[in-house]
Amino acid sequence: MYDIHNHVLPQVDDGAKGMRQSIRMLESAIHQGITHVICTPHANDHSNANANDLFNDRLAALNAEAAKLELPIEIGLGAEIMFGMNMQKVLTQPFGTLNGKGKYSLIEFPRQTPFDIIHNVVKAVVKWGYVPVIAHHERYPLAFRSIEQLIKLRTDGAILTMDAGSLTGQFGLPMKRHSRDLLSTGHIEILTSDAHDDDKQNFCLAAARDEAAAIVGLPTAKEMVTDAPRRIWNGEEWPQFKAV
């Protein structure tokens, strides 16, 4: 499996607090069949070349430790970028696109962001030459009030993702129900761990895949944690979405 959204990079945000915790998280990821992770520390309008240096230093340290321990996992870099007025500039940083491929950007919004703003950001990011990957779409209640909203976002070039923990019940029963409903629309394309620690918010991609299988079927659920995120890891083209 491939995970394109997590906070396993040590001491850069509210994720892993140190190298030991990062390694425990990676061991858990490996145990459930994850072979590739793109670290996505939080970034915002203030994230600049200094942030890029910090992220890359930590990535080098994490890769060195993983190699020393012979962990069978590949680790790349990106960021989870909070929408802001300076976003176009932030996206040009090496961490601005996932796995440094210059193509896919992971973007998050404040929870109560209106649909029209998310839609306009999607269109702007596409115009700037990137593919917007929306982080945890289940957290934006104003942006999935109807199937039409989901279709508009995808038609205009967005890829919608869901956090594994939302499906497994990590954030409570209402969020779990809500996420199951959203998943059943067929418009969520990737499941991500959004792992923050080695405890309650750890990698839980295998459990989420199994939860998803009961809703969308096992082949689709598997694709959401393998083929689809692998395209992002490799920087391959995304299949054009056509509403039926």
- The binding site for Fe ion (CB under 5 A) comprises 80, 194
Nearer Cβ to Fe ion (15/223)? 15
Q: Smallest distance from the beta carbon of 193 to Fe ion, in angstroms?
A: 9
Comparison of 194 and 211: residue with beta carbon closer to Fe ion:
194
Q: Which residue has the tokens 């491939």?
A: 2
Smallest distance from Fe ion to CB 34, Å = 16
Cβ neighbourhood burial of 73 (10 Å; 0-12, 13-18, 19+): middle
CB of 104 to Fe ion, least distance (A): 15
Query: Using CB atoms, what's the residue nearest to Fe ion?
Result: 194
Nearer to Fe ion, 58 or 152 (CB): 58
- Backbone torsion region of residue 195, taken as left when φ is above 0, otherwise alpha when ψ lies between -120 and 50, otherwise beta: beta
Report in angstroms how near the CB of residue 88 gets to Fe ion at its nearest.
21
Residue 38's φ and ψ, nearest 5 degrees, are -105, 115
Strand, coil or helix: 49: helix
C-beta of 174: minimal distance to Fe ion in Å? 20
Strand runs labelled E in the chain:
2-3, 36-39, 42-43, 74-77, 80-82, 104-108, 131-134, 159-163, 190-192
Please, which residue, 138 or 194, has the CB nearer to Fe ion? Answer: 194
**Which position has the token pair 């930590």?**
58
Q: What is the CB neighbour count within 10 angstroms for residue 114? A: 12
- Using CA atoms, how far apart are residues 97 and 120, in angstroms rounded to an integer? 19
The pair of structure tokens assigned to 129 is 């030459």
The residue (of 3 and 80) whose beta carbon lies closer to Fe ion is 80
Question: What is the total residue count of the chain?
Answer: 244
Least distance (Å) from Fe ion to the CB of residue 217?
A: 27
Smallest separation, CB 136 to Fe ion (Å) = 7
- Which is closer to Fe ion, CB of 80 or CB of 211? 80
CB closer to Fe ion out of 152 and 229: 229
Longest dimension (CA), the chain: 50
